Amino acid sequence: MKERIERAPSGYLMLLVNLVIFGASLYFFFTAKGSGEVATYIVSGLLLLIFGFVMLPGNFTVQPNQAVVLQLFGRYIGTVKDEGLRWSNPFYSKKKVSLRVRNFETNHLKVNDHDGNPIEIAAVVVWRVVDSAEATFQVDDYSHYVTVQSEAALRNLATVYPYDAHDAQDISLRGSTDVVAERLKTEIQSRLSVAGVEITEARITHLAYAQEIAAAMLQRQQAGAIIAARAKIVEGAVGMVEMALEQLNQRSVVNLDEERKAAMVSNLLVVLCSERNVQPVVNAGTLHH
């Protein structure tokens, strides 16, 4: 069921009419004793009073970014979005639906990632109602529906990607935040389109390994960082050794045979790649001794 816009007239005129009706009813009550037809005046006053109370519920207010869904004995009439004091058929039932942007944070969910590692994950979801009819009639409680379906989408997303990627080109929950956020938004939107809800943003706010494997995974991350750092150091050291040999050869500072080049490369790599300061050893002999 799609939303239909209903134009409701201003309620100020009908409010004035109601005041006149109540005023006339009081007039009949107060003047009944002095008239010759007491019963007629009282009955007229009662009828006007009843009519005024019947017409009074037709007045309702619409706040900015709010919609009022109108129904007549269970049949959908339309939705009023014009803000201010409005009036409609007093027999219409009126349900207010907020169109304001809302957000909530999911619970910290415990789920296994793509690699089977237990992780804890949570996300914040920003949403708003764009179709008041679908939000009212397609689901029982659209606010609760948004919460449940968002958590279901988050669980499903966590099983698609690993927590951390073994390759820099792979998508992971920790390393590809923008891609994962867009995928999460699309996943939630596909589930909530039936409820007339639009997802503005969805982003992971909490991501961590579960406590039972947190210590082991921390050691693994530290080992990976050490290996990556050592690889970078070795790459830089090899470049520096290559540059040193090339400059010595170009400037003819010293002519080294292959054995001496190997010894020099070994010494330079030890100096450049060592974790501690290297102690120098002075060679007091000749070039070859």
| The predicted structure's pLDDT at residue 225 | 67
Calculate ∠ Cα 75-130-86, nearest 5°: 55
Q: How far apart are CA 205 and CA 173, in angstroms?
A: 11
| The predicted structure's pLDDT at residue 44 | 86
The pTM assigned to this predicted structure is 0.68
Question: Helix 142-160 to helix 177-192 angle, to the nearest 10 degrees?
Answer: 140
| The predicted structure's pLDDT at residue 45 | 85
Please, are residues 122 and 204 in contact by the beta-carbon 8 Å criterion?
A: yes
> What's the CATH fold of domain 102-209?
Tetrahydropterin Synthase; Chain A (3.30.479)
SS3 of 75, please? strand
Give the model confidence (pLDDT) of 57-80 as tens digits.
899 999 999 999 999 998 999 999
Continuous H helices in the chain: 12-31, 38-55, 132-137, 142-160, 177-192, 211-251, 258-273
| The predicted structure's pLDDT at residue 239 | 77
Give the model confidence (pLDDT) of 163-191 as tens digits.
887 666 778 888 888 999 999 999 999 99
Q: Six-digit token pair at 92?
A: 């219409």
SS3 content of the chain, % helix, strand, coil (to 5): 50, 20, 30
What's the start-to-end Cα distance of the chain, in Å? 95
| The predicted structure's pLDDT at residue 213 | 59
Rounded-to-10 torsion of CA 176, 178, 180, 181: 150
| The predicted structure's pLDDT at residue 34 | 64
Rounded-to-10 torsion of CA 267, 270, 272, 273: 160
| The predicted structure's pLDDT at residue 175 | 83
| The predicted structure's pLDDT at residue 273 | 64
The letter for the amino acid at 217 is M
pLDDT in single tens digits along all 289 residues of the chain: 788 998 888 888 888 998 999 898 888 888 877 666 778 888 888 898 898 898 888 999 999 999 999 999 989 999 999 999 999 999 999 999 999 999 999 999 999 888 888 889 999 999 999 999 999 999 989 999 999 999 999 999 999 988 887 666 778 888 888 999 999 999 999 999 899 999 999 999 998 887 765 566 666 666 666 666 667 777 777 777 777 777 767 766 666 666 766 776 676 666 666 655 555 665 555 555 4
| Domain boundaries of the chain, sorted by first residue | 12-97, 102-209, 218-273
